[in-house]
Amino acid sequence: MADTTTTTAGVMARSAPRFYNPLSLLPSLNPIALIRMMGFLNFSNFSLSETPPLNGKVAVITGGQAGIGKEITAQLLLHGISKVYIIARNESRFLEAKNYWHENKGLAVDDIERRTEFLACDLGDIESVGRVGHELLEKLLRLDILIDNAALPTIPEYTLSAQGIETIFAVNHVGHFVLTNILLPLIESTATAHGDARVVVTSSSLHMGCHEIDFATLTSPTRTKGFAGVDSTYRYARSKLANILFTRELTRCLKERGIGNVYANVFFPGNIPTEAMDTWKELFGVAGNLVKGAFQLFGQSTTDGATTAIFLAASPEVERCQVRGKYFIPIATEEKTSKIAEDMDVARELWEWTDEKVTKTLGRDWQRIGRQQTPTPPHTE
Q: Which residue of the set 234, 236, 263, 327 is catalytic? A: 236
- What is the SS3 assignment for 100-164? HHHHHHCCCHHHHHHHEEEEECCCCCHHHHHHHHHHHHHHCCCCCEEEECCCCCCCCCCCECCCC
Residues 6+ apart with CB under 8 A from 89: 120, 121, 122, 123
Buried b (16+ CB within 10 A) or exposed e, 48-76: eeebeebeebbbbbbbbbbbbbbbbbbbb
Sign of the dihedral through C-alpha 136, 139, 140, 143? negative
User: What single-letter DSSP state applies at residue 15?
Assistant: -
Cα separations (Å) of 172 from 1, 57, 124? 41, 26, 8
Cα separations (Å) of 144 from 7, 59, 117, 256, 262? 38, 6, 16, 21, 9
The yes-or-no answer on residue 234 being catalytic is no
Q: Which residue of the set 128, 189, 203, 205 is catalytic? A: 203
3-state secondary structure of 167: helix
* Number of helices followed by number of strands (H, E) in the chain: 14, 10
How many CA atoms lie less than 13 Å away from 170 in the CB half-sphere?
24
The yes-or-no answer on residue 203 being catalytic is yes
Residues paired with residue 58 on neighbouring β-strands, in sequence order: 83
The yes-or-no answer on residue 236 being catalytic is yes
How far, in Å, CA of 90 to CA of 97, rounded? 11
Contact 69/90 with Cβ under 8 angstroms?
no
How far, in Å, CA of 291 to CA of 277, rounded? 9
How far, in Å, CA of 270 to CA of 370, rounded? 34
Q: Which residue of the set 98, 240, 292, 357 is catalytic? A: 240
Buried b (16+ CB within 10 A) or exposed e, 282-293: ebbeeebeebbe
Size of the chain, expressed as the number of residues it contains? 381
Q: What are phi and psi of 56, to 5 degrees?
A: 90, -15
Active-site residue numbers? Answer: 203, 236, 240
